[in-house]
Amino acid sequence: MSSAARIAVIGLGSMGLGMARSALRAGHIVVGCDVNPASLQMLAAAGGKTAATPALAAVGADIVAVVVVNAEQTKTVLFGENGAIHALKPGSVIISSATLSPTDAKDFAARAAEHQVLYLDAPISGGAAKAGEGRLTVMASGSADAFLAARPALDAMAETVYELGNEAGIGSSFKIVNQLLAGVHIAAACEAITFAKRLDLDISKVFEVISKSAGNSWMFENRIPHVLAGDYSPKSAVDIFTKDLGIVSDIGRQQKFPLPVASAALQLFLMTSASGMGRDDDASVARLYANITGLELPAPAPEQTDVTAV
């Protein structure tokens, strides 16, 4: 593979678009595909190419990064009627970055192998800002050949790449553990800040104090500013965690492993979604608490309007 790889990025949400831009900065040829015309326009403005279908994006690609929401979307963009697999050349590699169950990851890897295409089970963490900076954490598993083929994209998009095993499914298992913690921490942060409001505390000062105290978490420090600003435009949507904690719950049931704390967090996200906030930022769990208890949180900026999920 030459130093400038041809990389298709399928899914140009807040993470995928940042990853595509990082690959462009590294000198690669990037072709993007997304159902949102605005995302395609932003990629084109950054110097990327665009394609109408995953198959067209994958024509001539060395690497296809799939950065969609879930297993069903991954299956469609890879193996559906206009899926990338139909255009990929033997020896090219799929970097699959959606949060999946380990079973789905293994299935997709096997299907890719039938087409002589490599598959890297490579879920990501770090958020939109780090995606745009090329500083993601990647929890990856796959064959040595898959890692080698994916390296140009990984070097451009990630600060840390964990090589966790030689089979698909291991990376997804690590990500599921991460999502258990992330979901619980977001729910706990929202509970804490609304509890502070009920105690008639200045929640801006609460944020300042807790951020420097033992009760702090990365999610508290990252998400509570959304609450303080009244800004629930989705950096990561509520329904991402109804999905991810749902996968956690399914695996726990299969393994006969109790997950009471994760289950409580899942119910909070489900209630928030059922209240009409599923496509809003996951810090909207604080709004659920506020609605239930009659609290008044900071209002959104006047120009804020309804937004779609990423």
Q: Which residues are catalytic?
A: 175
Q: Which amino acid is at 191?
A: E
- 129, 14 Cβ separation under 8 angstroms: no
Handedness of CA 59, 65, 70, 71 (dihedral sign): positive
Strands 136-140 and 124-125: antiparallel
User: Which two tokens mark 225?
Assistant: 């500013």
Closest to 9 in 3D by CA, of 261, 22, 1:
22
- 9, 67 Cβ separation under 8 angstroms: yes
Handedness of CA 295, 298, 303, 309 (dihedral sign): negative
Outline where DSSP puts E strands in 134-278.
136-140, 158-163
- In which order are the strands placed within the sheet that holds 93-96? 49-50, 29-33, 6-10, 63-66, 93-96, 118-121
Rounded Cα gap, residues 5 and 225, in angstroms = 38
- 143, 171 Cβ separation under 8 angstroms: no
Which 3 state secondary structure label does DSSP give 93? Answer: strand
- 138, 158 Cβ separation under 8 angstroms: yes
By the 10 Å C-beta count (0-12 exposed, 13-18 middle, 19+ buried), 296 is classed as: exposed
